[in-house]
Structure formats: structure tokens, C-alpha cells
């Protein structure tokens, strides 16, 4: 049988080619319609998930210091493994909308201050206990406790009171927040029995896999949870395993030799080589993550908007995207939002303009060199990015002095401490969350020292606005303000670049995070 036809039939099954086109191509290749039809039927059948077997991923981003407690999940491996065993209230769909998981529905009173979450009946924890509203409240209590080390502490600060009402959880907020349901999709908020207050490291939740192996920084194993509440949709393999492979070359070799079926973090500079490996598919998806050059708006010389504008105009975004990310990304526009967010409005794209930059630079009255701090750990290619920027600034007559900082201690000594440095942001579920986390005056992580009361007011107003059209307009205004006055230079948004091995099917790109938003091991199967 023709391999081309086989390929085409798979494309039909995957929904990338219409049935009509397929039959046309088959006829052109001299295949009778009946044969073509039966091929198609086979291919569609093959697209049904294959149950059983072991699915193995080799992932970067695990350390021997990691623990299972979802409150402390930071690294990529814990994130992906957390999605194997943990179940959340809601989850982000590939289109940016919300999928109801443990919460069957989330309804708000008209003021967007009182929220009622109905807890789905009949969901079971791995220890056999049924998930109740009390477990949900206990989970939120644990993460929202002032003494908690949870990374979700910040987003739960807005909660005023919580109470259990039968199978409902009723939450009142201090201020109106139309995005409240999105906050519940935070990956730290894994629902655990009694909120994990007894033993947060037990690894017990209601996800598709039960934890069978937990060797921090080495390997993690999961066994299919027979009573998973939507076992037809997630958890096709009997066993899943994650091997921590922090070395990029070793990771690629493991995929190539078939020891793992999927890997994360393929480096942009080797993507084209990996593509040539037979059977390997690159899975790249544009996300919300971006790599900023942060200026402190309250520190000289960056307190002059003219200077900030000069530095923004002196950034050659196209060259940067091409050379640093090899095109695996999209250019930024000096505000932290892109089309991966639901309520995004495109603004006029800022272009590299050395002459205008020189004008603004002159107007700012600053002279002498400007110190830019960078490090390998800021983002992959951050040191090269600083050097490229230095060159494009030179064309505008701006002298940049680069200081390469050690990776050790970069996040504690340089980022958010020094006035001009490189960093990364992983994006957030909604625009409100992104702005609230890093750009309102009171934000702990206000890494551009952007302190504008009028901007804060806009954020709070948009947060309480339930009319989506009005809200969209408000976000466009905020984006414009940040683009023209903020302390942020965004050369580009990055892509998540994962790769899968032979015959791995079921992959669904999701812009929220890498590895199908962490669900790759649960969503995929290996076709025969």
C-alpha cells in the first residue's frame, strides 16, 4: 500500500484533511473508492486511543531538592508529574477557555464578589475517599494561609471568606474579580484529602495516575488509577514514567534511541537537526512566556520616559527573534500580553528605528554608557541577546555596557534588585493575573518599578468588569499605556518546543504551558 495514502488517511483521522480531498487524492493515485474508504475506516480506528503499555517522558527541570507537595511545585518536572496525579478544580483549555474538572460549575453573583463552586459528585481520591467540598476549602485554606510557603499564596489573597454549603463552596472576595475561576486553574491548587494538611507530600489526589515512584531529581512513576472519573478521556497508558534528563544532548539521544517517547525543551538552535531524525515530531506551540529587558522606572537614568523610549526603539526585534530563537517565537511589543490571552487586542507594532531612538536619547539628556546585566540563567541565549542589543543600540549612538552575572544567585541578587537586567516571565492565565502579579504598584514582583496609581485603578476596574467587550477595551488601553511609558522591553515571546518519538498520538497543543499544559503523558498513546 502506498505510504502516501497511509499518511493522508492519518491526516483525515486527525482532522487535518477533508474526506473529500482524501478520496480525490486516492483516485489520482489509482486506488478504487472502496479500497480508499476502507483505508480511511482503518485510519480512523487507529486514531482511537490505544490503551495500555508504558509511556515515558524525559524532561528537563528536576532537582533532587524537589518534593511532591504541590504548594512548592516550581520546576517543569514537578509541574508535569503533578498533572499526572493531581486534579484541579478547573483547567485551561487549548483555546484559553476553562474546562470544568472537580468544580462542576462556578457561578458568580452579579457583583463578581461572591462565587459559588459546585463540586462534582462521585470523584474519588486515590485513597478511596470521595472528594468533598470540605476538601476543596481545606486545600484553599492551606495554600492561602499567611504562613504558607505556597506559590499560590499571592493569588488567594483576594479571598475574604469561604464556607461549605452542602456540595457547594461559597467564596466571597474582598474586591470584585471577574477572573476568579481562572485563578483556580493555577497548577499548585491540586485538590488533596483534607487539603493536604495531614501530609502534603503523600501525592494523593484524584488525577488519572497514582504515584508509584518518587525519586526526586531522578525518576517518577505513576500507575493508572482505575476509578479516575473521566478515564475515557485521560490516562490511556497503564504506566507513566518521567525520567529527569537535564542535559539537552542526553535528552535528544534518549528520544532518538526510543528510551523515552517524549521530551521537553528542545533548544531552538538544534530544532532543525532534531526534525531530521526519523519518526520524531517537533511539537512547538506559541505561548504566553516572554523574555523581558527590565528597566526600573524610578531609578536614574531610566526614570526618564524619553530614555526608556530610546532604549525601546533601539531594539531590533526581528533580528533578535531570528538569531536568538531561530524564529521559534513571535516579536514582542513592550507589553506583557500577546494573542495567547483571550481578551488580547493587537496594538501597532513597534519597529527598530535607530534615528528616532537617537532623537529620544538626545532629548533625555543622558550621556555615557548604560549598564545592562545578563546571565545564562535569565533565559536560554540571554547572554547573546544582550550582545545583539548592544550592537543595535550602537547604531542609535547609545552605548551599552554588558555585565555578565553568575547564574548562582541571579534571581536573588540581580533580578528585581538591579535597575537594568534580563529576565523571563512564564505568563499567567489571564491579563489581570499578569498585570496584578508584576505591574501594579503594590506587586511584590514589580520588576520594572512601574508605580502608577492611574494604572492600578485601570487594573482594578477591569478586574470587576463582567462585560467582556468593555473589558477588552480597558485591557487595550492598559497595554497601550505600558507599551509607551512602561519599563519593559519585550523583544519576543517564546514558544514551547517539545518533541515526541515514533507513533505518538493524541498530542494537543496548549498555549498555557509546555507538554500539552502538562497533560502529555495522560493525553497521548503510542499507536501500533
Partner 1 sequence: MGASLVKLVGKRIGLSIILLFAVSVLIFVGTQILPGDVAQSILGQAATPEAVANLRAQLGLNDPAYVRYFRWLFGLLTGDLGNALSSGLPIGPAIAERLSNTLFLAFWAAAVSVPLAILLGLIAVRHRNGFVDKLISASTLAAVSLPEFFIGYLLIYFVAVKLGWFTSVSTVFDGMPFLKRMSAIALPATTLTLVVLAQMMRMTRAAILNVMQSAYVETAELKGLSRSEIIWRHAFPNAVAPIINVVMLNLAYLVVGVVVIEVIFVYPGMGQYLVDHVAKRDVPVVQDCGLIFAAVYIGLNMLADIFSILSNPRLRHPK
> Which positions touch partner 1 (CB under 8 A)?
58, 63-67, 74, 146-149, 151, 153-154, 213, 215-219, 243-247, 249-250, 253-254, 256-257, 259-260, 408-409, 411-413, 415, 423, 444-445
Q: What is the SS3 assignment for 422?
A: strand
Nearer to partner 1, 43 or 140 (CB): 140
Q: What's the min distance (Å) between Cβ of 85 and partner 1?
A: 18
Q: Which is nearer to partner 1, 367 or 442 (CB)?
A: 442
Are the beta carbons of 280 and 260 closer than 8 angstroms?
A: no
Give least dist CB 140 to partner 1, A: 17
Q: How far is the CB of 218 from partner 1 (least distance, A)?
A: 4
Give Cα separations from 330 to 97, 161, 290, 493 (angstroms). Answer: 22, 41, 9, 5
- Cell reading at 140: 484553599
Cα(38)–Cα(27) distance, integer angstroms? 14
Q: Which of the 8 DSSP states describes residue 129? A: P
Q: What is the CA radius of gyration of the chain?
A: 25
Listed residue (454, 444, 438, 441) closest to 488, CA to CA: 438
CB of 263 to partner 1, least distance (A): 11
Host H or E run for residue 428: none
Phi/psi of residue 109, nearest 5 degrees: -70, 160
DSSP 124: B
Between 62 and 207, name the residue whose CB sits nearer to partner 1.
Answer: 62
Residues 487, 129: Cα–Cα separation, whole Å: 50
Instruction: Report, in Å, the least distance between residue 214 CB and partner 1.
Output: 11
Q: Which is nearer to partner 1, 364 or 416 (CB)?
A: 416
Shortest distance in whole angstroms from residue 438 CB to partner 1: 11
Fill in the DSSP letter of residue 292.
-
Select 139 or 446, whichever has its Cβ closest to partner 1: 446
Report the residue number, 291 or 415, with the smaller CB distance to partner 1: 415
The residue with cell 498555557 is 512
Is the Cβ of residue 76 or residue 392 nearer to partner 1 in the bound state?
76
Please state the closest distance from residue 347 (CB atom) to partner 1, in A: 27
In the complex, least distance from residue 302 CB atom to partner 1, rounded to whole angstroms: 21
Run of H or E including 319: helix 317-324
3-state helix, strand, coil in the chain (%, to 5): 35, 20, 45
The answer, yes or no, to whether the previous bond of 222 is cis (omega within 30 of 0) is no
* Residue (20 or 146) nearer to partner 1, CB: 146
What are the C-alpha distances in Å from 122 to residues 130, 206, 467? 7, 11, 35
Is the Cβ of residue 75 or residue 108 nearer to partner 1 in the bound state?
A: 75
Burial 34-59 (b: 16+ CB within 10 A, else e): eebeebbeebeebbebbeeeebbbbb
At its nearest, how many Å lie between partner 1 and the CB of residue 478? 23
Amino acid at each position: 500500500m502506498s505510504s502516501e495514502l497511509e499518511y493522508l488517511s492519518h491526516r483525515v483521522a486527525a482532522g487535518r484533511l477533508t474526506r473529500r480531498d482524501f478520496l480525490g487524492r486516492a483516485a489520482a493515485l489509482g486506488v478504487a473508492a472502496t479500497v480508499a474508504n476502507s483505508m480511511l475506516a482503518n485510519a480512523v480506528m487507529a486514531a482511537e486511543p490505544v490503551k495500555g503499555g508504558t509511556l515515558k517522558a524525559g524532561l528537563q527541570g528536576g532537582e533532587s531538592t524537589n518534593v511532591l507537595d504541590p504548594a512548592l511545585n516550581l520546576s517543569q518536572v514537578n509541574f508535569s508529574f503533578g498533572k499526572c496525579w493531581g486534579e484541579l478544580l478547573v483547567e485551561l483549555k487549548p483555546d484559553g477557555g476553562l474546562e470544568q474538572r472537580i468544580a462542576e460549575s462556578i457561578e458568580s453573583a452579579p457583583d463578581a464578589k461572591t462565587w459559588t463552586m459546585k463540586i462534582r459528585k462521585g470523584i474519588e481520591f486515590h485513597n478511596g475517599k470521595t472528594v468533598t467540598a470540605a476538601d476543596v476549602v481545606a486545600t484553599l485554606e492551606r495554600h492561602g494561609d499567611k504562613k504558607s510557603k505556597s506559590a499560590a499564596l499571592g493569588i488567594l489573597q483576594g479571598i475574604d471568606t469561604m464556607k461549605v454549603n452542602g456540595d457547594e463552596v461559597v467564596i466571597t472576595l474582598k474586591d470584585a474579580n471577574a477572573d476568579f475561576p481562572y485563578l483556580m486553574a493555577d497548577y499548585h491548587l491540586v485538590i488533596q484529602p483534607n487539603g493536604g494538611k495531614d501530609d502534603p507530600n503523600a501525592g494523593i489526589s484524584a488525577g488519572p495516575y497514582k504515584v508509584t515512584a518518587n525519586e526526586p531529581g531522578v525518576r517518577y512513576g505513576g500507575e493508572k488509577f482505575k476509578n479516575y472519573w473521566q478515564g475515557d478521556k485521560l490516562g490511556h497508558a497503564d504506566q507513566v514514567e518521567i525520567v529527569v534528563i537535564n542535559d539537552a544532548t542526553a535528552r535528544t539521544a534518549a528520544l532518538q534511541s526510543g528510551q523515552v517517547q517524549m521530551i521537553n525543551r528542545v533548544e531552538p538552535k538544534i530544532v532543525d537537526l532534531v526534525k531530521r531524525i526519523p519518526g520524531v515530531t517537533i511539537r512547538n506551540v506559541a505561548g504566553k512566556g516572554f523574555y523581558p529587558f527590565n528597566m526600573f522606572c524610578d531609578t536614574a537614568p531610566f526614570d526618564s520616559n524619553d530614555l526608556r523610549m530610546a532604549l525601546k526603539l533601539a531594539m531590533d526585534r526581528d533580528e533578535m527573534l531570528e538569531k536568538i530563537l531561530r524564529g521559534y517565537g513571535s516579536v514582542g511589543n513592550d507589553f506583557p500580553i500577546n494573542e495567547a490571552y483571550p481578551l488580547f487586542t493587537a496594538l501597532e507594532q513597534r519597529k527598530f528605528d535607530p534615528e528616532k531612538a537617537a532623537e529620544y536619547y538626545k532629548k533625555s539628556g543622558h550621556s555615557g554608557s548604560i549598564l545592562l546585566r545578563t546571565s545564562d540563567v535569565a533565559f536560554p541565549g540571554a547572554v547573546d541577546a544582550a550582545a545583539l542589543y548592544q550592537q543595535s543600540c550602537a547604531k542609535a549612538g547609545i552605548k551599552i555596557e554588558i555585565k555578565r552575572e553568575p547564574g548562582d544567585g541571579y534571581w536573588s541578587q540581580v533580578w528585581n534588585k538591579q535597575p537594568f537586567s534580563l529576565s523571563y516571565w512564564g505568563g499567567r492565565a489571564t491579563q489581570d493575573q499578569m498585570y496584578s502579579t508584576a505591574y501594579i504598584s503594590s506587586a511584590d514582583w514589580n520588576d520594572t518599578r512601574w508605580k502608577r496609581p492611574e494604572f492600578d485603578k485601570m487594573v482594578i476596574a477591569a478586574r470587576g468588569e463582567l462585560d467582556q467587550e468593555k473589558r477588552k477595551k480597558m485591557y487595550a488601553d492598559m497595554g497601550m499605556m505600558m507599551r509607551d511609558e512602561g519599563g519593559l522591553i519585550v523583544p519576543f515571546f517564546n514558544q514551547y518546543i517539545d518533541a515526541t518519538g515514533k507513533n505518538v498520538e493524541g498530542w494537543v497543543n496548549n498555549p498555557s504551558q509546555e507538554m500539552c499544559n502538562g497533560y502529555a503523558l495522560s493525553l497521548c498513546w503510542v499507536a501500533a
